[in-house]
Amino acid sequence: MPKIIIDGKEVECRAGISVLQAALDAGWNIPHYCYHPGLKVVASCRLCLMEMKMPHPQTREPGWAPKLFPACQTPVRKGMEVRFDSDKVRENQKHVMEYYLLDHPLDCPVCDKAGECHLQDYSEQFGNATSRMVEDKHKNPKKDIGSHTLMYSDRCVLCTRCIRFCDEIAGTGELRKVNRGSRNEIDIFPGEPLENELQGNVVDLCPVGSLISKDFQYKQRVWMLNTARSVSPADSRGSTIWIDYNKQGVHRIRSRYNPQVNEWWISDEARFGWKYINSDKRLNTARIRRGVSWEAVGWEELPGILRDRFASADENATAAVLSPMMSCEEAWLLAKFIRQVAPRATLVRGYVPIEGEDKTFPKGFVIKAEKCPNRGGVEQIIAHFGGNSMDFDEFVKAAGAGRFKAAYVVGGYPKEWITEAHARAISKIEILVAHDLFPSLLDQHVAVQIPTASFAEREGSFVNCDGLLQPFERAISPLEGVKADGQFFHELAGEPGLFRAEKFRVSVAGELEMFAKVHVPPDEPKYAH
Amino acid sequence: MSWETIDRTTVAEEKLGPGLSAAAREKIRTFFPRYPSKRAAMLPALHIAQDEIGYCSLRAMRDIAELLEVPPSAVMDVVTFYTQFWTHPRGKKVITVCRSLSCELMGGKEVLAALKEKLGIDEHQTTPDGKYSLVTEECLASCDHGPCMQINEKTHKCVRVEDLDRILSDPDNDKISMPRSDIFDAPQKT
Ligand code: SF4
Ligand code: FES
Ligand code: FES
């Protein structure tokens, strides 16, 4: 751990990083555009320049070198001394910011980046309020460059982060700089759109409002949004995400830094694939079948009804299907409930959706073929509870053979998952409880139907493909008529009080070790981006 | 102008222009052994394309990208960086007038104005008969003989307005007496 001196203060830092990273880690607010810890260093934006102490070439006397150095490109060295708090550095920042604003359209009122734009922030913190530019600015039309992305050339600061992302992380290289000098702009080759499965990341990466997500454009001003720490349910990778939401619901999903899993990136699937939570097809009433019609039941009555029903069935012919879309807490509580009412009940690992094959990108980012977030957690819980267990295919087969009389089946998948063959087999179960997100082929056979809340409406934890247990927060309240699954299972299992995922994890940590090893990724330094 | 949108994701077939011939591709391949990587042959490849087609068409850029195993955008990056590469058809002869300091002081502006009038075209345009295109460029590196202009690769020095008719009517006004370097034309095979 080398120690360096920044602005007269001694700072301990990781070896091998740049001075800029060290300063950001230690809480300095150093303006930077081109530097991104996940991408190669180009040192082209010239905002992070600093003063450095060096030995005088003749006298060997250490002193401040007359020229400025890019902090992003200077590796830390033991005992080095640098400073940002100097007139020379501030002067440079001011001039560079003035250059950046020469052609900038100042269309912040209609720009979606406003409020989280580093051109706005840095102009205020390091720039000038007025421009001396009297010539006309370049004005360009915006460009449609991909299915999710728009490009506003006139807002661009040419940091080339987006280019480096497409080259290094996605490995597809769709974006490039074209033309030169003041006409330099980012572009795609005509007819070769930005279509990699990680394209949404360039919008997160862009320090200004140049790359805009079509999906989020003109939807919300960012200062109207709250944000929740969540984990993407899109695949078993367990990418950590921010859910940006407000009273009107979820508006956007961004990647959340997680050095052990997804680093700074998420797939487009995780970013844009959450719209199903707003679907008007979602189930929103708990109901019981009465002959050919349904009867709605109150959430308070449900636990009693379910207990009675399952108690009346043969305990050897009872099963609970724990979906890998459930959180660990929910799966635990449901397993607990079913074993309370039927100690010999079978625990079934729910249906695991697989789409294609794992896709690995050049620097190691992976999109998993397994499209559920918590197979690992559910399996560990089933193993912990012991007794009878099987996987979903075996369950379907056994149900078809008439092995089960009562079953609690949890779904929660964004896509249709019950096939006709499944439905035919499962329909043999007399007391069938389906807890799902959407109507399915099972509906005509179920005795009790319970709507589930989406991932944004729940809190809990998922165990990803590498066995990391990662907690996620609730962003919004469940759809009207729906109860958060955690709370419901809490009541169902007869636990007292309110369900709080964290408290719950602590309380069962002694029983199942996995709940004690919670992986919470560190936050990025405040001024890093 | 950001209220207008241009669609870059699709391109009309006729905008692609002609592609590279098999001979041109072969010629580009002969450059590969000279460099540590295929992409390093970018500039010779573009010259070959421009020599064959007259400009660097989108289709030719795509062909080169395929040969050099780089994304087509990387070829476009290089093409648009150098003003010597054309992205649209040009006349048989390109007249490049110097617009830098020495030439301008010696009357470059007048030469340019007279040329525009004689050819009936503006900068970056091509005469209807396809004979001449007209552009300007920073210093042509003959400042001691300003005003200068180039017709294709031949540099005309100390050009006076009254010389223009003679120069334009000379069919050999673009022929250079010096042979082109054989490094470019005859790649050695290894
Ligand atoms: S579009 Fe954004 S990320 Fe790309 S170079 Fe411009 S400012 Fe940087
Ligand atoms: S030059 Fe250092 S961050 Fe851009
Ligand atoms: S200024 Fe014209 S050749 Fe240099």
Q: How far apart are CA A313 and CA A462, in angstroms?
A: 31
Q: Say whether pLDDT at A419 is over 90.
A: yes
What is the domain class of A287-516 according to CATH? alpha beta
Q: Is A370 helix (H, G, I), strand (E, B) or coil?
A: strand
Q: How far apart are CA B60 and CA A189, in angstroms?
A: 12
d(CA A245, ligand 1 centre) in Å: 26
Domain A3-98 has CATH 3.40.50.2300: no
Q: Say whether pLDDT at B182 is over 90.
A: no
What is the average pLDDT value for chain A, to the nearest integer? Answer: 95
Q: How far apart are CA A486 and CA A332, in angstroms?
A: 10
Q: How far apart are CA A5 and CA A284, in angstroms?
A: 60
Which residue in B97, B92, B126 sits closest to B114, CA to CA? B97
Q: How far apart are CA A382 and CA A379, in angstroms?
A: 5
Q: Give A-chain residues touching B58 at CB under 8 angstroms.
A: 189-191
Between B83 and A26, the higher pLDDT residue: A26
Q: Say whether pLDDT at A113 is over 70.
A: yes
Q: How confident is the model at residue B181 (pLDDT cuts 50, 70, 90)?
A: low
The chain A residues in contact with chain B (CB within 8 A) are: 105, 107, 139-147, 150-152, 154, 172-180, 187-193
> Residues enclosing ligand 1, CB less than 6 A?
A 156-162, 186, 205-208, 210-211
In the prediction, which pLDDT does A129 show?
80
In the prediction, which pLDDT does B187 show?
55
Q: How confident is the model at residue B179 (pLDDT cuts 50, 70, 90)?
A: low
Domain boundaries, chain A: 3-98, 135-224, 287-516
Which residue in A520, A466, A505, A516 sits closest to A236, CA to CA? A466
Q: Ligand 1, residue A33: give the atom nearest the CA.
A: 8
Q: How far apart are CA A21 and CA A528, in angstroms?
A: 8
In the prediction, which pLDDT does B189 show?
56
Contact (CB<8Å) A173/B71: yes
- Indicate the residue of B1, B3, B73 with minimum beta-carbon distance to A173: B73
**Whole-Å CA distances, A29 to A17, A23, A121:** 17, 8, 11
Q: Say whether pLDDT at A153 is over 70.
A: yes
Long-range contact pairs involving A439-448 (C-beta distance under 8 Å, separation at least 24): A439/A281, A439/A283, A440/A411, A440/A416, A442/A409, A442/A418, A446/A289, A447/A288, A447/A289, A447/A309, A448/A286, A448/A287, A448/A288, A448/A289, A448/A297, A448/A302, A448/A305, A448/A306, A448/A309
What is the average pLDDT value for chain B, to the nearest integer? Answer: 92
Q: What is the rounded average pLDDT of the residues A387-395?
A: 96
| Percent over 90 (pLDDT), chain A | 94
Q: Give B-chain residues touching A147 at CB under 8 angstroms.
A: 9
In the prediction, which pLDDT does A182 show?
84
Q: What is the rounded average pLDDT of the residues A309-324?
A: 95
Q: How far apart are CA A65 and CA A46, in angstroms?
A: 17
In the prediction, which pLDDT does B185 show?
59
In the prediction, which pLDDT does B188 show?
55
Q: A201-252: per-residue pLDDT in tens?
A: 999 999 999 999 999 999 999 999 999 999 999 999 999 999 999 999 999 9
Q: What is the rounded average pLDDT of the residues B10-27?
A: 96
Q: Is A270 helix (H, G, I), strand (E, B) or coil?
A: helix
Q: Say whether pLDDT at A195 is over 70.
A: yes
Inter-axis angle of helices A485-492 and A328-341, nearest 10 = 20
Q: How confident is the model at residue A140 (pLDDT cuts 50, 70, 90)?
A: confident
CATH architecture for segment(s) A135-224: 2-Layer Sandwich (3.30)
pTM of the model: 0.92
H helix or E strand, kind and range, residue A299: none
For residues B56 and B48, the answer to whether their CB atoms sit within 8 Å is no
Q: B126-161: per-residue pLDDT in tens?
A: 999 999 999 999 999 999 998 999 998 899 999 999
Find how far residue A339's CA is from the centre of its chain.
Answer: 34
Predicted ipTM of the assembly: 0.88
Residues contacting residue B102 through CB under 8 Å, at least 6 positions apart: B139, B143, B144, B146
Contact (CB<8Å) A189/B5: no
Q: A498-511: per-residue pLDDT in tens?
A: 999 999 999 999 99
For residues A215 and A148, the answer to whether their CB atoms sit within 8 Å is yes
In the prediction, which pLDDT does B186 show?
58
H helix or E strand, kind and range, residue B185: helix B182-185
Tell me the shortest Cα–Cα distance from A33 to chain B, in angstroms: 21
Could you tell me the end-to-end alpha-carbon distance of chain B, in angstroms, rounded to an integer? 53
**What pairs with residue A471 in β-bridges?**
A461
**Alpha helices, H only, A80-227:** 87-102, 118-126, 161-164, 200-205
Q: A446-489: per-residue pLDDT in tens?
A: 999 999 999 999 999 999 999 999 999 999 999 999 999 999 99
Contact (CB<8Å) A143/B6: yes
Q: How far apart are CA B122 and CA A147, in angstroms?
A: 39
Nearest chain A residue (CA) to B72: A189
DSSP state of A168: I
Q: Give B-chain residues touching A208 at CB under 8 angstroms.
A: none
Ligand that comes closest to the CA of residue A160: 1
Q: Is A132 helix (H, G, I), strand (E, B) or coil?
A: coil
Q: A214-223: per-residue pLDDT in tens?
A: 999 999 999 9
d(CA B102, ligand 3 centre) in Å: 5
Q: How far apart are CA A149 and CA A291, in angstroms?
A: 51
Contact (CB<8Å) A189/B61: yes
Between A460 and B178, the higher pLDDT residue: A460
Q: How far apart are CA A515 and CA B7, in angstroms?
A: 51
- Cβ A46 under 6 angstroms from ligand 2: yes
How many CA within 13 A on the CB side of residue A177?
Answer: 15
d(CA B54, ligand 3 centre) in Å: 26
